Structure 1
Amino acid sequence: MIGDPFTMVVAIIAIITIGKIIQSKHQAKYGIIEDQDMLGNKTQRLANNSETQALQNEISELKERIKVLERIATDNSSALDVSREIEALRDR
């Protein structure tokens, strides 16, 4: 079933999301915030405690989303169930 295009798309999205979570977790652990201006120039700065807490909360939310995406990718659900799960994620 790995050849199914829908499964492959979900797997790619899950891999990218996991990578972003790991990157965000690393930056949050060390209190690093990366800013980007309108020209695409990136700068990094240290976060204060409230910003660090907000980043940790965001990481927790992203981990929950990953769990749902992994469940969607591994379950043998119908397309309607998958659509409902994705919409539930968007509503959060």
Structure 2
Amino acid sequence: MSKNIIKRKKAVAIKYEQQKSIAPVVQAKGTGLIAENILEEAKKHNIPVQEDQALLEILMELELNETIPEELYEVVAEVLAYVYKLHKEENKNVKNTT
């Protein structure tokens, strides 16, 4: 007899404000319906979503408003650079169509 394991969706939102914090902080996190809501809010506000299961699992261990640990700076910097690049390209495309 085999068991069907249903994986619940997980999501973590991080926020980085250079003026307020030395590193990004966990803004929201959750599983199931909460994760769906986080992803829906990201979509609604055109916030890119990066899928990285290993990073997600580590970030899920942090508390809300907790600064990410120093050992994650490099990987989170790569994610943020990717997001900023997408945002910049999106703004450029908007300007070119107006």
TM-score normalised by L of structure 2: 0.39
TM-score normalised by L of structure 1: 0.41
Is the helix fraction higher in 1 or 2? Answer: 1
